[in-house]
Amino acid sequence: MAELVYLSLGSNLGNREAHLRRAIAELETMGTVRALSSFYETQPVGSINQPWFLNCVAALETEKSPRELLDVVLNIEAGMGRVRMQEKGPRNIDIDILLFGDRIVSEPRLKIPHPAMQERRFVLEPLVEIAPDVRHPLFKKTASRLLQELNENQIVRKI
C-alpha cells in the first residue's frame, strides 16, 4: 500500500537548484511526487563556515518501506557524488526522510520522524507551505504549530 512521505532536500555546493531538481527527478522513479515546496535560500545551521543552502520539501507517495526508501535516498546521494567528509558540512545534495505516514521508526540507521525536524526552520517553512496540517506522530502537533512554536532564528528566504 502506498504511503505519503515527506522529504527535505538541500544543497549548498555547485549549482544548488540543478542538484535539487536532479534529486527530485530521481525520487520520481520511486513513486509519485504529490507536492513540492518552493525553493528556500537558508542560512547554514551550526558552527561550520559554509555557503548558504537551497532547500525544499517534497511529498512523495511510495510503495517502498522506510528502510527501502532510506536505501534509495542514500543511493541517490551517492550517485550524485555526495561524499560525507564532515558532519553537517558542505554538500551538493542532502535528502532526509522527515515523516513516513504516521509511522514511528527507531533503528540505528533510521529515525522517523526526523529527530531534529521540529528545530529547523529550513524544514518547517517549506513543509508548512505544502502540508500545514500534517501531524508529527510523536508530538501530535501540526507542522504549522511546530513552526509557530519555533524559537530558532535561522534566516530562511523563499526564492
Task: Residue 130: give its domain's CATH number.
Answer: 3.30.70.560
* Domain, as residue range, for 44: 3-158
**pTM reported for the whole predicted model:** 0.95
- pLDDT < 50: residue spans in the chain: none
Half-sphere exposure of 43 (CA within 13 A, CB side): 10
Positions annotated as catalytic residues are 82, 91, 94, 96
Which cell numbers in the block locate residue 107?
533503528
User: Which helix (DSSP H) or strand (DSSP E) does residue 124 occupy?
Assistant: helix 121-130
**Residue 153 has what pLDDT?**
81
**Residue 66 has what pLDDT?**
97
**Residue 104 has what pLDDT?**
98
**Tell me: the pLDDT tens digits for 130-155?**
999 999 999 999 999 999 999 878 89
CA angle 109, 111, 115 (to 5 degrees): 130
Q: How many domains does the chain have?
A: 1
Q: Which residues contact 41 (CB under 8 A, 6 or more apart)?
A: 52, 53, 54, 156, 157, 159
**Residue 47 has what pLDDT?**
66
Cis peptide before 108 (omega within 30 of 0): no
Q: Answer yes or no: are the C-beta atoms of 62 and 30 closer than 8 Å.
A: yes
Q: In whole numbers, what is the pLDDT of the chain averaged over residues?
A: 94
Polymer length in residues for the chain = 159
Cα–Cα dist 27/35, whole Å? 12
- Identify the sign of the CA torsion 34, 39, 40, 44: positive
**Residue 45 has what pLDDT?**
83
